A and B are shown apart, each in its own frame.
Chain A
Amino acid sequence: MVQLSDLRRLGPYEWEIPASVRSDMRVPVRLFASSELLQAIGGDASLEQAVNAATLPGVVGEVLVMPDVHQGYGFPIGGVAATELPSGVISPGAIGYDINCGVRLLASRVKLAEAEGLMDELASALDAACPSGVGQGGRLRLDERELERACREGGEWARKDGFGTEFDVARTEEGGFLDGADFSKVSRRARDRGKPQMGTLGAGNHFIEVEVVDEVLDPEAARVMGLQEGCLTVMIHCGSRGFGHQICTDYVKSFQKAVQRYGIRLPDRELVCAPLDSPEGHAYEGAMRCAANYAFANRQVLAHLAREAFAKTLRGRAPNVHLHQVYDIAHNMGKTEEHTIDGKRRRVCVHRKGATRAFGPGFEGLPPEYRPIGQPVLVPGSMGTASWVLVGTEKSMERSLGSCCHGAGRTMSRRKAKRSINGGELRRELEDRGIKVRAGSMPGLAEEAPAAYKDVDAVVDAVAGAGIARKVARLRPVAVVKG
């Protein structure tokens, strides 16, 4: 069992679990956290799971752990691991079931002061426009051909069908699609689940929030992103829905055999993997990229629906009702990238699960306006608390494989939250604080209560303190729509 005493302090916000702590570790674990957050992290199995991740064949550098980490299944939520091409492995469990779960931020020039009395109406309009809830289908019913196109083209597919603009697609990670999506590697079951769910939010911790820019800390970066203090934004958090869940399920099952075939020994079956350069590895990668593109398209459709609801509610009652896209980032993904690791330039598959990409300034894949400032990093807080806009830094490229945290991170179990928090009371409490709430179920709302999460400000202080991101703006919620 990994203990907090196994950690070596590297700096005020950096810690290491040396590879000598367990004989099967191939690389060390590097953790970004303050001393206070570390105590919460030590309270569950996160560190043990990070050590398990450090046993993946072909893993290079360090396994990275973000301050919002919490225990997952196999791989910790808030973990990053790079495996070297071609001999390293790809592990579906290290990417997660909700492939390309991510966050999109849209911003406006509408001042909260101009629209304050309309927030109730806006919450209802967003709730009506964006289908949400358990197993909820959307208004789009894709046939096989359209689903395949969405899987190949991602955000661009949605744009061509009238859901959004070229500007939206350009301001999406990877331009809204991953090359190499192979629809033939997606099962019939996944296709059946994917067809009715395009343009839906789902349930659990997924949400649409209206937030106001509360504080700008980097005026130049905020200006480039079009974020103005006191103005309204809309944040969307969701992923690839049942389509991605089924693809991950299918490959975790088929990889049980692959590990036997390739003689891979693992401390946990949920970490099953296959060499990147193997038929199994290629098949999963092709299918995973379909789900990634599906999720980009899904958020694009939802953004369009949210934009329509926003404009319809506010047009004629406030000026400048357009919502422009700030950025869209993934936080459950496997990506081929090049990084300098142990002094050598290497091509790696970066597994990020509950962690975002956070590339620093100068990266060519960023939209031209973002190249000087670095990639926007969107960090949603727990419901009712602040969210943050950050940017990646040069140091994130050196210390964290261009990666950052993805949220506040749970600290209380869902069961305990449901037992100790009353959904109805929580809703009243949020409404008393001026936050309008639309939720599919009250027990579901209780599970996502702010008290069940770490303090997002402390998480952001840790990544900023470690230098792997820089603060741009703090957002405060004024309306929440949950599935």
Chain B
Amino acid sequence: MEHTADWELEVWGPDMPALIAEAARGMYGLMEVKTSEDSRCHRRLEFFADDREQLLVSFLGELLFLAEAESLAFDGFLLKVDGTSLVARLEGGSIMSRSKEIKAVTYHRLEISETERGLETSIIFDV
């Protein structure tokens, strides 16, 4: 979606795990990430948040950190959401290339709402 300086991503899914996975795929898409198919890696991550929006921001923020600090990106998401906690089992690989930098996932106007498409939100990234 159009945003003067930054990027706004609209995502939806039938439930929280689907919404979170879609948001992650969308974020990697914006970063134009390409990963290696050779050496696959697995991670298990846990998140506890005050609300669903914070859960989403925390998860995406961790993926940004792993992309930069360990050069890892994921395409397999097994996510279990219980209220406002999340257990994520991730499969991915080393980043071969990424052409865009995202500085951060913001809370700006962030709200997860229930619509006929399931859960829907739009996320603004600082780039």
Contact = CB atoms under 8 A, between A and B. Distances in A.
B39 interface: no
Given A71-B3, A71-B4, A193-B69, A269 B53 contact: yes
B99 A441 contact: yes
A188 to B, nearest CB: 10
Nearest to B62: A189
Given A135-B101, A249-B61, A411 B108 contact: no
B10 interface: no
B80 interface: no
A278 B105 CA distance: 26
Given A73-B6, A256-B107, 19 more contacts: A72-B108, A73-B126, A74-B106, A74-B107, A96-B126, A97-B104, A134-B31, A134-B101, A135-B98, A189-B65, A193-B69, A202-B101, A203-B100, A269-B108, A270-B108, A410-B5, A414-B5, A414-B6, A415-B7
Given A193-B65, A270-B108, A416 B2 contact: yes
Interface in A464-483: 483
A352 interface: no
Interface string B64-80: 01011101000000000
Contact of B109 (A134, A268, A443): A268
A242 interface: yes
A90 to B, nearest CB: 17
Contacts of B61: 249, 253
Contacts of A222: none
A245 B4 contact: no
B58 interface: yes
Interface string B52-95: 01100110010001011101000000000000000000000000
14 contacts: A72-B108, A73-B126, A74-B106, A93-B106, A97-B103, A189-B65, A242-B69, A246-B65, A249-B105, A253-B57, A269-B53, A414-B127, A444-B99, A444-B100
A contact residues, range: 35 or more
A73 B106 contact: yes
A257 interface: yes
Contacts of A413: 2-5
B71 A70 contact: no
Contacts of B38: none
Interface in A120-177: 134-135
Contacts of A444: 99-100
B126 A77 contact: no
Contacts of A72: 5-6, 108
Contacts of A248: 104
A414 B2 CA distance: 8
A225 B74 CA distance: 51
Given A74-B106, A135-B71, A269-B107, A256 B100 contact: no
A98 interface: yes
Contacts of A443: 99
A97 B126 contact: yes
A-B pairs, top 5 by smallest CB distance, nearest first, are: A73-B108, A269-B107, A73-B106, A270-B108, A413-B2
Contacts of B69: 189, 192-193, 242
B116 interface: no
B106 to A, nearest CB: 4
A459 B69 CA distance: 38
Nearest to B97: A134
A246 B126 CA distance: 12
A249 B104 contact: yes
Interface in A420-445: 440-441, 443-444
A134 B28 CA distance: 13
Contacts of B65: 189, 193, 246
Nearest to A415: B2
Nearest to B127: A204
B118 to A, nearest CB: 23
Given A72-B6, A270-B108, A204 B68 contact: no
B124 interface: yes
Given A249-B61, A256-B50, A413-B2, A268 B108 contact: yes
Interface in A212-234: none
Contacts of A193: 65, 68-69
B41 interface: no
A189 B66 CA distance: 10
A246 to B, nearest CB: 7
A415 B101 CA distance: 14
A66 interface: no
A193 to B, nearest CB: 6
B2 to A, nearest CB: 4
A256 B5 contact: no
Nearest to A96: B126
B96 interface: no
Contacts of B58: 253
A71 B107 CA distance: 15
Contacts of B50: 256-257
A97 B57 CA distance: 15
A70 B4 CA distance: 7
A483 B100 CA distance: 10
Nearest to B71: A135
Nearest to B58: A253
